[in-house]
Amino acid sequence: GASGGGGLGLALPDPVSTTKAAAAYKAVKSSGADLIVAPRYEVSIKDYFIFKKLDVKVTGSKGNINSIR
């Protein structure tokens, strides 16, 4: 059969997206919110020769869900 697409078939995670998701999760859990309304991310990347250090700060309004209709 034929296969489409390229690459090795491995989905490598984007480190910035992964770190943003972790920061949002930590913010929601620590604040007791259900979600973050209009999240804004501040990303700082320090590039060392062998590795990179990512710091992400997320800000936004705390949102709670009262009911689902």
| Domain assignment of residue 3, yes or no | no
Q: Which two tokens stand for residue 13?
A: 């995670």
**Residue 32 within any structural domain of the chain:** yes
pLDDT at 39 over 90: yes
Strand partners, 63: 35
Q: Which two tokens stand for residue 38?
A: 């209009």
Which range marks the domain in which residue 40 is found? 15-61
Which residue blocks in 1-69 are alpha helix, DSSP H? Answer: 15-31
| Nearest-angstrom CA–CA distance, 38 and 52 | 27
Global pTM reads: 0.70
Count of domains forming the chain? 1
Mean pLDDT of the chain: 85
Q: Compare 44 and 4 and report the one with higher pLDDT.
A: 44
For the chain, the C-alpha Rg in angstroms (whole number) is: 17
